[in-house]
Structure 1
Amino acid sequence: MKKFKKNWQIQKNWQLIFPLIGIIGLFYSAYKLAFLIITEFHIVFTPLIILVLFYLLLKFFLFLFKLLEKKWIVTYRWEIIRIFIVFAITGSSSVLIGKPIITLLGITKENLNPFVYWFLYIIIGLIFYQILLVFFGWLFGQFQFFWEFEKKMLRRFGLKRFIN
């Protein structure tokens, strides 16, 4: 455990919650992906496929950590996990909020061309994503990181006048 704490630069035990949430999320993702791959329920192979997918996802994200650690300015390595958790929660939440909003506006697949429907769905989701990203960043103690990230994103969208 000391090696783990040293590797992730964890000073206090409460900071262990972020690697734990990351591992649980990774396992859940492997579980969901396994059932997308397996069309029939094979009780013998399912745990093996889940473990293989978990291992591959873990290696992929550890590789991403090394790349992003140089690009993102964070004080401790465990904060990268916290940032990934904020991105995951924000993405899911923007979809959950966007769906009722688009329905409330009367936009459905039946009354619009599918291309127009999905375009509007993505635009509405993107608007809520921007708002939720800063909110969840604040909630997880990473407001400054996500505020700078948001300003950079708005500049790329050509919305410089909305940034101080």
Structure 2
Amino acid sequence: MNKLRERWNIKSNFQFFIILLVFAITGSTSALIAKPLLTLLGITKGTVGLWFYYPLYLIIILPIYKILLLVIGTLAGQRLFFWNFIKRMLTRMGLGFLFK
């Protein structure tokens, strides 16, 4: 826990708790939003098969997760932390050109 606090440059236990809470809420919410979104687009397990559905489900979750992470992180008062986190994540995915 202390290594993570140092790596993320977190000053207090409360800030650490808020950040972990935002990660938990965002992960759960993005998974809950992706399923109805796929159904709205007419994509279900029965129509496209499991081998296509689950990779598409994961691909749909990624942008939803990043958007929710920034929105929920901002509401929690940690906008700067999550903005930098998202930039780092996208850079590691090879999408760093979006921020130049």
TM-score (norm 2): 0.94
Indicate the structure with greater helix content. 2
Deviation at 1:126, TM superposition (A): 1.2
Deviation at 1:89, TM superposition (A): 0.5
1:123 pairs with one of 26, 43, 59: 59
Q: For residues 28-39 of structure 1, what are the structure 2 equivalents within 5 Å?
A: none
Partner of 1:138: 74
User: Comparing 70-79 with 98-107, which one deviates more in the overlay?
Assistant: 70-79
Unaligned runs of 5+ in 2: none
Deviation at 1:66, TM superposition (A): 2.1
| Larger RCO (alpha carbons 8 Å, 6+ apart) | 2
Equivalences, count: 100
For residues 138 and 74 of structure 1, the distance between their equivalents in structure 2, rounded to whole angstroms, comes to 16
Deviation at 1:143, TM superposition (A): 0.4
Q: For residues 14-163 of structure 1, what are the structure 2 equivalents within 5 Å?
A: 65-163=1-99
Deviation at 1:160, TM superposition (A): 1.6
For residues 124 and 130 of structure 1, the distance between their equivalents in structure 2, rounded to whole angstroms, comes to 11
TM-score (norm 1): 0.59
For residues 76 and 66 of structure 1, the distance between their equivalents in structure 2, rounded to whole angstroms, comes to 11
For residues 160 and 125 of structure 1, the distance between their equivalents in structure 2, rounded to whole angstroms, comes to 19
**Structure 1 stretches of at least 4 aligned residues deviating more than 3 Å after TM superposition:** none
Unaligned runs of 5+ in 1: 1-64
The letter of the residue matching 2:59 is I
Deviation at 1:163, TM superposition (A): 1.2
- The 8 Å contact of residues 5 and 11 in structure 2, kept in 1 or not, is answered as no
Larger radius of gyration: 1
The letter of the residue matching 1:91 is G
